[in-house]
Each structure stands twice: as C-alpha cells, then as structure tokens.
A and B are shown apart, each in its own frame.
Chain A
Amino acid sequence: MTTTIEQMRNIGISAHIDSGKTTLTERILFYSGKIHRIHEVKGKDGVGATMDHMDLERERGITITSAATHVEWGGCSINIIDTPGHVDFTIEVERSLRVLDGAVLVLCSVGGVQSQTITVDRQLRRYNVPRIAFINKCDRVGANPLKVRDQLEEKLKHNSVLMQIPIGLEDQHKGVVDLVEMKAVYFDGRDGEDIRVEEIPEELRAEASQRRNDLLDAASMFSDELTEAILEDRITSDLIHEGVRRGTIARKLTPVFMGSAYKNKGVQTMLDGIVRYLPNPAEVENVAIDLDAEEEADQNVVLTMDPNAPAVLLAFKLEDGPYGQLTYIRIYQGRVEKGTELVNSRSRQKTKVGRLIRMHADHMEDISSADSGDIAALFGIDCASGDTFTAPELNYSMTSIYVPEPVISLAIKPSDKKALDRMAKALNRFTKEDPTFRTFVDHESHETIIQGMGELHLDVYVERMKREYDAEVETGKPQVAYREAITQKAEFDYTHKKQTGGAGQYGRVIGYVEPLAEGVYEFVDEVRGGRIPREFIPSCDKGFKAVVKKGDLIGFPVTGVRIVLTDGQYHDVDSSDNAFQAAARGAFRQVYRKAKPQILEPVMKVSVEGPTEFAGAVFGSINQRRGIIVSSVEDGNFSRVDAEVPLSEMFGYSMQLRSLTQGKAEFTMEFLKYGRVPAAVAEELQKQHLEKKAAEAK
C-alpha cells in the first residue's frame, strides 16, 4: 500500500500497568488482520500476547521494551509504539513518546485515574502529545466509565468529551452508542469481529441525545462551520469529526471512547477514532538543533515533510535480533532508501543504509524506501539509541531526551568464565539500549557494578542476561547512590614537596572551596601574575576533578563544589604536571573536613493508593521508613498518600505494602531530589565505609 502523509499515524498506547493495554494492542493487531488468533496477556494458552515478544515480559505479564509495529486501518497506515507502563522504565516511555504524534490513554473503568495514569499523562503533556482516551474493562464488576471521565477532568485537567456511551455495564456490557451517528454499535461473532449497527435502545435515547448535545457544544468550540451548521440545523458527521479533530490536535480536547478489549467490545470504534482525530505527521511541528549554528537563536530548525529535503532521522530504539542489531528509526525529514548515505551526528561516522525493514508484531517486511513521518527499522547500523542521523550536508541533532541520573547500583559477578564473556556482551548491549542503565568496574573491589533507576529496573536486566545471553550472575545487595557535599566555604594552602634523589616534585596551591548551588563541579582560576604558570593550571583542575570522585566520608562522589584557585608557588625545576595534580589532591583532602561535608541520599517521591481502611497502616509504613508524609487525599473510600522517602529505605516496600493491605494498595515512586542524611544514619554509613576499607586493606 502506498500511503500519503495524510494517511499516516504514529501512535502510542499509554496506560497504567494492568489497565489492559497489552490486551488492547493485541486486539488492534487482530482486527487489523495482523494476527490470526487472540492470546491473553497472562496466557492460559502458554503463548502470551503478540506484542510481548520477550519471554520475561510474557512471564510477568508486563511489557518492558517498546517495539514499533505497523497496522492498517480505515485506509490509514498506523505505527503503534508499545510503551511500557511501569515507572521504573520511564526512559523507555519517554523515548517512545518522543517519536509519537498521538496517543491513546487507556484507563480502567473500575480503577479510574490512578497515580501511574497521572505520571503517564504528565509525560504525554511534556512532549505535547495529543491524546484520545479509551476507558477499558467496562465488563468488570464496578465499571463506571462516566465516573472515570469525570476523573479525567478533575484529576488530569483534560477537557474531555464523550464520543460514546456504554450499552450495559459489567456482565451486561454489550456495546456502545455512537454519539456522532446516533446509532447503537454491537460487536458480534466469536471475537467481536462482526459489527452490527442498530437503532439506539429506547431506554438510552434520552441520555444519548443529551450527551450528543454536550459533544456538539464541545466540538463547536473548535469549528465555526459546525457552530453555523448547528444554528441552521444542518449538522453532518463530517463537521463534528472536523471540530473534534481540531480540538484534539490543539491538545484542548480529549475525545473519550470506551469498551472492553478483553470482551472484544469497542476496539474497532476506537481505531476509527485514532484515524479520525489523531494528527498525521505533517500536522505536528518537529524541531531539530542545528549544531553548526553559531548564534543560539538560530539553533532551532523546523523540519519539513518534503521527501526531497535532506534526510533527518532519530534512532529511538535498539534491539538485538537473530540477524544482528535492529535499529528503530523515525524519519523526520526527507526520504531513506537502500543505499542512502547517512552521518551519525554524535560520532560523525558515515554509514550507508543496507536493509530497510517495516516491523510487524511477529514478522518483518523488507521495504525499499520510507518517507518523512514514517517509522521503520535498519539493520547493520552501529549506534546508540537516541542518536540522530542526517544526510551528509546537514549537522542536526534531534533535541536530546532528558536522561535522569541513576539512583541505585548493584554489584554483579559472573558465575564462571563463560558467563563472563556473555555478561560483557549483554552489558554492552543494554547500555546502548538504555541510557539510564550504566555499568563500570570498581577499581578497588574489581567488581562489575550496574546502575539504574530502581530495584525492578536492575532485576529485569539481570534476568535478561540469564535468558537472552545465558549469563548466570550473582548479585550483591542493592546499593544506593549516595553523594557527598560541602556545606560551607573553607580555605586551603597546600604544598606538595618531594625530594627523593633525582628530579624533585614541587607545587603549592592556595585558594578556597565553597558550595555550588547548581551544578556538580566548577573550577575557577583567579591566579594572577604567573604565581602558577599557565601550563600547570589545567593540572590543578585535573587533580581536583580526580579527588572529588571519591569523598572522604563514605567514598561517594562529591557534588556541588566550586573550587577557586587564588594563588600558589612553583619551582623552576621541580614543578611539573604531576606535582600540581598531587598538590590539588592534597589541598582538597586538607580542606574537605573544614568545609563541613555531609552525606546526601536520593529521596523518592512515593505515592500510595488504596482503600481508606488501610490509611493507618500506610502512614505507619512510611513513618517506619524515615519518610515524610506530605499529604493524604481521601475521596469516599479511596485514599492517596504522597510522601518523600529515602530510596535506601524503600527496599522490599512492595512486599510490605502487599501484606499490610491484602494486596489492595499499590505505590509508585520516582526520583525527587538529593536530601541530607540524618546524623545517626550518616554515622552508620561512615562506620561501614571504614570497615570496608579496613577489610580491603588486609
């Protein structure tokens, strides 16, 4: 099928975990003819949903990696980017969002808007993604899509409008009333594939006509033609669609669909909604940074959809397939064909497009070219995810995706020699795929350390090593990424002198250190009159930089420090690069304690939601973990507690919460800030650090 840009959609399906996102995706693939059988997420048939292509995801019933898959519906070509629902993997979510033009926000008609929904919605907002809502699970006991719609307004501040109302709920859920056509839509056949359109049942007519008026009101806000048509009583469906479409693309209106993916209700009508209301790639402005621009004001370049313009594309996802590295790309400008020459704007490495692929959920299709706006995949390209590729004449970069610093680390040890090689291979791959996942070898303990955004994040990678690379590793205890920071200004005056026969070493540095409110490290050279020769100033900087990597308190990096060098002394013969580096290191060690250093720890923003009856238990559990309760909100029988809790205290919280609340409460957490460690804890950490050092010295 040849598609024009108007017929293209790049969408994501964003949702709270367990709101049925994977089931919904599965149904979309089924109805669009991509797959021929329906499997369930927690597959009783042992197959699992098609989008969950990793064993691990299959086992846990969750989707971790975002794969792009291509479907066709209503004459449109839709790329679906399956985004993970767990907050620990937000980098994956954020990276997928970057390449979306629109999204379906899936909500559970029983649970409604929950804290993860709020997180996901906030991310969509950050990347200006227009969205439609799908209220799923209308077949469940307690389903109340109208209440969920109210929550969209109250909790997410969406200006939402019902496109449908349900025909029956819970086990009586039969279909939906389409408020544009004013018809009842039923989904017949074994898998709901036969759509039957009938008159609206008598008992729903009054409500439907009232809701349709609301819809007309909402849509006419965005279309004068519709307003006129309403006044002149010549409303057409197309006019309504156009109004809703404009409101949606302007991100001022959220059309609401509903149904039950599990019971095969309402999925096709929602697909119609995707095609009708979400933007095509030409309707979204995309901006790149021109790296050659000298003035900051000229840096932002708006990309054009012209297929003849020089190509600009973003590698947003890497995957290891049986045939080597597969790189998912989104084309923002120009056309990519076999043989197109591209430059990686980060490494400036040139490369030629070999195989170009379109990904379906279970197979890949070779294609000869792909145009701006489309999503495809390349084979045999060496890059990291997040890299931009351009035609050789350009030097653009797509705006960098915000990458948070890892907050937790874990020592891993391969179980044998074979596992060692495999582990190295796996780590190399993972760090390329996921910028929030890092690894290094600790020089003192010779251990391999992996770092990430949460316990589960690291767990998943350890599991993947085992499954995908057959690398068994033993893990240590998760370790929180502490920091050290000084709290006051202090002066140093340090002379490094060594006379041991042969060339001596001499360097003297004078200056002060002070806390830096923003930033990690700053070195200021205020030495006048050549008291330290020019060539040795970088040596001092280097020495300081090296020494702040490990603070004296517990051996964690010192952050937020400004070092000002004001004076010094040198020796014609004995001064050297090394001597000044050593002087800088010595000076910092001398001054550090005087600057009243303290230990900082990552503090997480934790939200716990559940029935009110467990509020006391939840308050207690947070208090026990050195947490501060910021607020609690009670609405009927439902309560939400927001708290700030040190990450080091959060280990095992999901288990504790489950047992305290009989599994009825859940929590989310994300990194909030670095906070000061209380004195008693600081003492304990220092004690442990000394013991560790002593043990290593033996």
Chain B
Amino acid sequence: MVKTHLIKRSPLRVLEEATHGGPGRGALAVLASPKGVGKTACLVHIATDKLFQSKPVIHVSYASRVDYIITWYEDIFKEIAKNRRLRDAVAVHDEIIKNRVIMNFNQDGMKTEQVLRSLEAMITGGKFNADAIIVDGYNFGLAEPSDLAKFKAFALRMNLELWFSASLKENGTPLYGPNGTPVLLAPHMGEIDVLITLQAKGDVVEIRVVKDHGHPAAGILPLKLDPKTLLIASEK
C-alpha cells in the first residue's frame, strides 16, 4: 500500500468523523483511561497518523524517558507498516521522523509557564511548525484548572491541536460520573473540547466519545484497540 491510501483508510478517520473532524486547531482533546489500557499507544498512533500526513508533531512527555518513547513510535510504525504492507517502509520512516520532536520534562517543579516557554522556543526558535502537540504522562491530579487553561490559550495562540492523556487511578471510588465523564477530569471540563475514554470490557477495549465540542457525543465507536498490536482498528 502506498502512503496516501494508508492515510485515507486509517481507522482514525472514523474517530475524526465521530468528533466532527477531530479536535482541530486551537482545541484541546483528552484521552482518558486507567493505567495499562493503552493510552500511550493510542496517542502515538494518532501522532503517527499526523506524521504520515506530513504534519509536524511535538510529543511532550512528563514521565517516560526519551528512548522509551522512541521505542513506542518504532513499534507502532512497524505494526502499521506490517499490517498495511506499506511500500518503501524505510524511506517513509526516515521521511516522517523528521517531523517529530520529543520533549521531556520533569514535572516536579516544572511550571506550566516554563513548559509552554520551551514549547514556544521549539516552535519559533527551532522553526518547528507543529500541527499538533501530544502531551503524555501529565498529572491531572496535581493540575489546577488554570494550568489547563494556559495550555488551551497556547493552543489557540499557536493555532495547533493539543492531545493529552489522563491516567485514571483506581482508589475505591467510581472512576466515572453518571454521564461517563471521568471524575478526575470534572474540574477541567470547561477547557476540554473533545474527551475520549478507553475502557477494557473483557478482551476488548471500548473507545467512547464522551465530549465532542458542543455537539452531542457519539458514545461508543465502532472501533477497538487491538490487544496484540495496540493499534486502533475497525471493529470488523
């Protein structure tokens, strides 16, 4: 398969359709699930899909080390290339990684302002015209709503899409509120434009749209997370 077909037939198009074209520039999206369900894999898949479209992506990580994240990208790319029998995989790979930068922050004592300052330095100083920023390992438990508001303002000002992952911790109390909104994220819902949750149901992981800009949310999507490859796949 050549690259253009691969983009067109990506199961991520289903996700986009279900959220009215995806989060879009200036919007903030959150992917939430308990630990170990596959958030990072999903985010890397979403980022890789953008890279295939020649859209530059900054991957911000608060917890994991850089080499660990690079391994994620390598693995996800290999799975996609294998699954879709991508032609010239090596050349495509070399081409797309030029559009990816990984930035690692130590969240203890790392203020949102400083992170945003560094991101701006990368975009303006480094002339890295990012289309999207992926933020993995952000601790929503420690975050103030004003922190997320700063990120949102940054996304609007720089005209780019922001994706966060949120790790939901099991501590005896219910994870989700009545409408499917994770309790952890309730204080931040004002800033979140698109919210998607992953929930393990037996062998499958359900993907559910909980918030879709101002539109009624689509609910459970005809997508699943393949437990072997951790890729988002159509349910057929």
- Interface residues of chain A, those whose CB is within 8 Å of chain B, are 612, 615-620, 622-623, 628-636, 639, 642
Contacts and interface: CB of A to CB of B under 8 A. Distances in A.
Contacts of A623: 125-128
A437 to B, nearest CB: 31
A620 B98 CA distance: 15
Nearest to B101: A629
A631 B126 contact: no
B127 A631 contact: no
Nearest to A617: B125
Contacts of A635: 106
B173 to A, nearest CB: 34
A661 to B, nearest CB: 13
Interface of B: 66, 70, 97-98, 101-106, 109-110, 114, 118, 120-122, 124-128
A633 B126 contact: no
Contacts of B103: 631-634
B126 A616 contact: yes
A615 B125 contact: yes
Contact of A629 (B114, B120, B124, B128): B128
Contacts of B109: 636
B169 to A, nearest CB: 25
A620 B127 CA distance: 7
B127 A630 contact: no
B125 A616 contact: yes
Contacts of B70: 630-631
A268 to B, nearest CB: 37
A632 B104 contact: yes
Nearest to B69: A631
B125 A631 contact: no
Contacts of B98: 628
Contact of A619 (B106, B114, B126): B126
B128 A615 contact: no
A631 B128 contact: no
B66 A616 contact: no
B125 A620 contact: yes
A670 to B, nearest CB: 17
Contact of B106 (A622, A629, A632, A634): A634
22 contacts: A612-B118, A615-B118, A615-B125, A616-B120, A616-B122, A616-B125, A619-B121, A623-B125, A628-B97, A629-B101, A629-B122, A629-B128, A630-B66, A630-B102, A631-B66, A631-B70, A631-B101, A632-B101, A634-B104, A634-B105, A634-B110, A634-B118
A629 B104 contact: no
B121 A616 contact: yes
Judged by DSSP, the binding face of B is: mixed
Given A630-B102, A631-B66, A632-B101, A616 B124 contact: yes
A118 to B, nearest CB: 12
Contacts of B110: 634, 636
A488 to B, nearest CB: 11
A328 B178 CA distance: 78
A41 B11 CA distance: 63
Interface centre among A617, A628, A630, A632 (most CB of B within 10 A): A632
A385 B117 CA distance: 51
A619 B121 CA distance: 7
A633 B64 CA distance: 11
By Cβ-Cβ distance, the 10 closest A-B pairs, closest first, are A619-B126, A616-B121, A616-B125, A631-B102, A620-B125, A633-B104, A631-B66, A619-B125, A635-B106, A623-B127
A400 to B, nearest CB: 29
Contact of B66 (A618, A636, A642): A642
Centre residue among B105, B125, B127, B128 by max chain A CB count within 10 A? B125
A622 B103 CA distance: 15
Given A620-B127, A623-B128, A636-B109, A612 B114 contact: yes
Among A615, A617, A620, A635: residue with most chain B CB under 10 A: A615
Contacts of B125: 615-620, 623
Contacts of A615: 118, 121-122, 125
A636 B106 contact: yes
A612 B105 CA distance: 11
Name which of B66, B103, B125, B126 has the most chain A CB atoms within 10 A of its CB: B126
B12 to A, nearest CB: 24
A223 B120 CA distance: 53
B68 to A, nearest CB: 11
B76 to A, nearest CB: 17
Contacts of B122: 615-616, 619, 629, 632
A153 to B, nearest CB: 13
B123 to A, nearest CB: 9
Nearest to A627: B126
A166 to B, nearest CB: 25
Contacts of A617: 125
A680 B155 CA distance: 34
Contacts of A631: 66, 70, 101-104
B129 to A, nearest CB: 11
B221 to A, nearest CB: 32
A620 B126 contact: yes
Contacts of A639: 118
B118 A632 contact: yes
Contacts of B104: 631-634
A639 B114 CA distance: 12
A353 to B, nearest CB: 49
Contacts of B118: 612, 615, 632, 634, 639
A630 B126 CA distance: 12
Contacts of A630: 66, 70, 101-102
Nearest to B121: A616
A617 B120 CA distance: 12
A635 B128 CA distance: 22
A612 B110 CA distance: 12
Contacts of B105: 634
B23 to A, nearest CB: 24
Contacts of B114: 612, 634
A635 B114 CA distance: 11
Given A622-B126, A631-B104, A634-B103, 17 more contacts: A615-B121, A615-B125, A616-B120, A616-B122, A619-B122, A619-B125, A620-B126, A620-B127, A623-B126, A623-B127, A623-B128, A630-B66, A634-B114, A635-B106, A636-B106, A636-B109, A642-B66
A617 B124 CA distance: 10
Contacts of A633: 66, 103-104
Contacts of A616: 120-122, 124-126
Nearest to A639: B118
A114 B120 CA distance: 25
Contacts of B101: 629-632
Nearest to B110: A634
A604 to B, nearest CB: 16
Contacts of A634: 103-106, 110, 114, 118
A633 B122 CA distance: 12
B115 to A, nearest CB: 8
A476 B124 CA distance: 37
